[in-house]
Amino acid sequence: MTNNTKQDTLNIIPLGGLGEIGMNLMVYGYAGKYLIVDCGLTFPNDDTPGIDIIIPDTTFLAENRDDIVGFVLTHGHEDHIGALPHIWPDLEGPIYGTNMTLALLKGKFKEHDLLGRATMIPMKSREKFQLGPFNICPIQVTHSIVDASALAITTPLGTVIHTGDFKIDHTPIDNRPTDLHTFAQYGEKGVLALLSDSTNITRPGATTSEREITPVFEKLFPRADGLLIVATFSSNIQRIQQIISVAVAVGRKVVLNGRSMINNVRAAKDLGYLQIPPDTIVDIKKFSSYPRNKLVLISTGSQGEPNSSLVRIAAAEHKEVVVQSGDVVIFSSKFIPGNERTIWALINMLFRSGAEVIHEKNVPEIHVSGHAPQEDLKLMLALTRPQFFVPIHGEPRHLHRHKRLAIKMGVAKENTLVAENGDRIVLDGQTIEVVDQVHSGRVFVDGKGVGDVGDIVLRDRRYLSEDGMVVVVLVVEKSSGEVMQAPELLTRGVVYEDESQELLDEAKEAVEVALQVGPKAMDFREDEAAGVRELSQRALRRFFKKRLGRRPVVIPLVMEM
Which distant-in-sequence residues (6+ apart) come within 8 Å of 246 by Cβ? 214, 217, 218, 221
Residues 191 and 261 in one domain: no
Q: Does residue 277 surpass a pLDDT of 90? A: yes
Is the Cβ–Cβ distance between 434 and 518 less than 8 Å? no
**pLDDT digits 0-9 by tens, 168-196:** 999 999 999 999 999 999 999 999 999 99
Total of domains in the chain: 3
- From the candidates 174, 197, 327, 423, give the one annotated as an active-site residue: 197
**pLDDT digits 0-9 by tens, 69-119:** 999 999 999 999 999 999 999 999 999 999 999 999 999 999 989 998 999
At residue 92, φ and ψ (nearest 5 deg) are: 55, -170
Last residue of a domain, one of 350, 366, 382: 366
Domain membership flag for residue 519: yes
Helix residue spans in 54-98 (DSSP H)? 59-63, 78-81, 84-91
pLDDT, greater one: 535 or 262: 262
Domain membership flag for residue 460: no
At residue 228, φ and ψ (nearest 5 deg) are: -115, 120
- Amino acid identity at 168: I
Residues 185 and 215 in one domain: no
Domain membership flag for residue 61: yes
pLDDT, greater one: 248 or 561: 248
The Cα 77–Cα 80 span in angstroms is: 5
CATH code, domain with 312: 3.40.50.10710
Burial grade of 405 (CB within 10 A; 0-12, 13-18, 19 or more): buried
Q: Percentages helix, strand, coil for the chain, rounded to the nearest 5?
A: 35, 25, 40
Domain membership flag for residue 461: no
- From the candidates 371, 393, 398, 402, give the one annotated as an active-site residue: 371
Determine the pLDDT at residue 2: 42
**pLDDT digits 0-9 by tens, 362-420:** 999 999 999 999 999 999 999 999 999 999 999 999 999 999 999 999 999 999 999 99
Domain membership flag for residue 462: no
CATH code, domain with 136: 3.60.15.10
Least confident residue range of 289-303, 404-418, 429-443, 479-493: 479-493
Determine the pLDDT at residue 292: 94
pLDDT band for 337, please (50, 70, 90 cuts): confident
Give the mean pLDDT of 499-511.
Answer: 86
Determine the pLDDT at residue 50: 60
pLDDT, greater one: 227 or 504: 227
**Taking the CB of residue 503, how many other CB atoms lie within 10 A of it?**
17
Concatenated DSSP letters of 488-532: EEEEESS--GGG-HHHHHHHHHHHHHHHHHHHHHS--TT-HHHHH
Determine the pLDDT at residue 291: 95
Domain membership flag for residue 5: no
Last residue of a domain, one of 450, 482, 505: 450
Residues 527 and 505 in one domain: yes
pTM above 0.75, yes or no: yes
Q: How far, in Å, are 173, 224, 314, 328 from residue 322 at the CA level?
A: 32, 15, 7, 12
Determine the pLDDT at residue 305: 84
Residues 378 and 527 in one domain: no
Domain membership flag for residue 2: no
Dihedral sign computed on CA atoms, order 13, 99, 235, 91: positive
Short-list 203, 150, 154, 198, CA closest to 37: 150
pLDDT band for 521, please (50, 70, 90 cuts): very low
Domain membership flag for residue 456: no
**pLDDT digits 0-9 by tens, 409-468:** 999 999 999 999 999 999 999 999 999 999 999 888 765 556 555 566 666 666 666 778
Residues 218 and 174 in one domain: no
For the chain, the farthest-separated pair of C-alpha atoms sits apart, in whole angstroms, at 86
Establish whether 327 is a catalytic residue: no
CATH code, domain with 489: 3.10.20.580
Q: Does residue 296 surpass a pLDDT of 80? A: yes
Residues 356 and 232 in one domain: yes
Domain with 520, as residue range(s), is 467-560
Helix (H) or strand (E) holding 238: helix 237-249
Residues 168 and 314 in one domain: no
Q: Percent of the chain having pLDDT more than 70?
A: 90
Give the mean pLDDT of 241-265.
Answer: 95
Residues 498 and 553 in one domain: yes
Short-list 384, 5, 337, 31, CA closest to 200: 337
Residues 41 and 115 in one domain: yes
Establish whether 359 is a catalytic residue: no
Q: What is the mean pLDDT of the chain?
A: 90
Residues 238 and 271 in one domain: yes
Residues 250 and 346 in one domain: yes
Residues 361 and 375 in one domain: no
Last residue of a domain, one of 333, 366, 399: 366
